[in-house]
Chains A and B, each alone.
Chain A
Amino acid sequence: MRLSRSEELACREVVELVTDYLEGALPRRERRRLRAHLSGCEHCSEYLRQMRETIALSGTLRVEDLTPSMREALLDVYRRWRETEAAPG
């Protein structure tokens, strides 16, 4: 289906819709306009690929594990809680 001129999105608008698109939050009509733009715009297609890759790379970040001192401190928290739980009243 061919879109009329007034329905065409500018690249500057597309980059603001990318997250809603990826989140499945775009209304059907907007989604159609976005897809129509992407099918004819190499740069915006590249931009969308980069956003997907950005999300995927963020998912690879891994950080520190539990340090022995924190482990001890937390066990202490647990033991104190057990004591108050066990206490009558």
Chain B
Amino acid sequence: MFVLGSPSAGARVDLQAAIRIAPSLSLRLNLAASVAAVAWRVARSRPGDDDWELVERLRAGDEQAFLELVERHQSRMLRLARTFVSSPAVAEEVVQDTWLGVLRGLDRFAGRSSLQTWMLSILVNRARSTGVSESRSVAIGDAGPAVDAARFDAGGAWASPPRHWVEESHERLSAEALSEVLKDALEELPERQRQVVLLRDVEDLSSEEVCAALDISEGNQRVLLHRGRSRMRESLESALGEAP
């Protein structure tokens, strides 16, 4: 029953074997980092670890297994697709096209990344190739600071300090209203910041997974995350902060 039930543990064993025979020190260090990442993922026991069991079943023609895999990943794919294309209908097409790509590519998928990362990278490629988005050529981050420069004095100290809202947020707004504030703030982010914040903070993917899915460097990912999170905080402060 559990032929492919714990692929991560299997991957860890393979990597350890690979480390023993790795010829160069730098390769060994890279592998050690990968092993640590895999071990961390196993420890965190992320949802999707048992995607593999579903994959085996859908290969065997089990429609229910395919639907389960879709249920698990569809919303995330749709949300990511919508950051690339403006129309919801086109986003649905991109996602549908992605599932076909996933099915066709299953036999070639080597399992070097997680199934989810692999699927998201297919989606990103499809979305970019629709031609609607020019995301690759857009600058990494807007040049603006995390906080409006006018809020600091000449020496760089707070002149207009952050207004309190953390402890009071649930008293000041209902859960629904807070959710609207967050959705609007996310919508207003520049495309690439929105993609990174969506995947990291809303979808709870690791930075490695986000870099792999969007094909960006760790450094660029952090810059985008920083700008995006800073703007999200600003929106929350505007909506929730006590009067200045």
A residues with CB within 8 A of B: 10-13, 15-16, 18-20, 23, 25, 43-44, 46-47, 49-51, 53-55, 57-61, 63-66, 70-71, 73-75, 77-79, 81-82
Contact = CB atoms under 8 A, between A and B. Distances in A.
A79 B226 CA distance: 43
Contact of A19 (B75, B78, B218, B222): B222
A61 B185 CA distance: 12
B54 to A, nearest CB: 12
A contact patch SS: helix
A60 to B, nearest CB: 7
A12 B157 CA distance: 6
Contacts of B179: 60-61
A11 B236 CA distance: 20
Nearest to A65: B75
Given A23-B207, A43-B158, A59 B201 contact: yes
A51 B66 CA distance: 38
Interface of B: 58, 61, 63, 66-67, 70-71, 74-75, 78-79, 92, 96, 99-100, 103-104, 145-147, 149, 152, 155-158, 161-162, 164-166, 169, 178-179, 182-183, 186, 197, 201-202, 204, 207, 218, 222, 225-226, 229-230, 232-233, 236-237
Contact of A59 (B99, B103, B147, B202): B202
Contacts of A44: 158
A12 B156 contact: yes
Nearest to B165: A50
Contacts of B164: 46
A79 B156 CA distance: 62
A63 B232 contact: no
